[in-house]
Amino acid sequence: GFRKVVHIEQGGLVKPEKDDTEFQHPYFIRGQEHLLENIKRKVNSVSSIKNEEIKVRQDNVTKLLTDIQVMKGKQESMDSKLIAMK
């Protein structure tokens, strides 16, 4: 909920010479510490998408690891059959 304050002399079009960027929030008031608990970070829907992507990727990794274990088992079986044939 913080908003950038643009002063009239800056006009919002000209970049200020020095970085005096100022922000304001209705609950950010000097001497009113009890209001700070009302300031919350915005939650974007993008973060929920990222969580879903992470879950899908974890599922893919789990499947790959399972496939590797199966292939190892088959390789060991083929190795033992080859040794028996020799």
SS3 of 49, please?
A: helix
Q: For the ranges 8-12, 38-42, 45-49, 67-71, which has the lowest average pLDDT?
A: 8-12
Selected residue with higher pLDDT from 16 and 20: 20
pLDDT in the model for residue 78: 95
Domain ranges of the chain: 3-85
pTM tops 0.75: no
Q: What is the pLDDT of residue 70?
A: 95
Two structure tokens written together for 25: 């929030």
Q: Give me the pLDDT at residue 24, please.
A: 84
pLDDT, tens only, 33-60 = 999 988 887 776 666 667 777 877 888 8
Q: Centre a 10 Å sphere on the Cβ of residue 1 and count the other Cβ atoms it contains.
A: 13
With vertex at residue 74, the alpha carbon angle to CA 68 and CA 78, rounded to the nearest 5 degrees, is 140
Average pLDDT, the chain: 81
Q: Supply the DSSP string of the chain, one letter for each residue.
A: --EEE--TTTTTTSPPSS---EEE-TT--TT-GGGGGG------HHHHHHHHHHHHHHHHHHHHHHHHHHHHHHHHHHHHHHHHH-
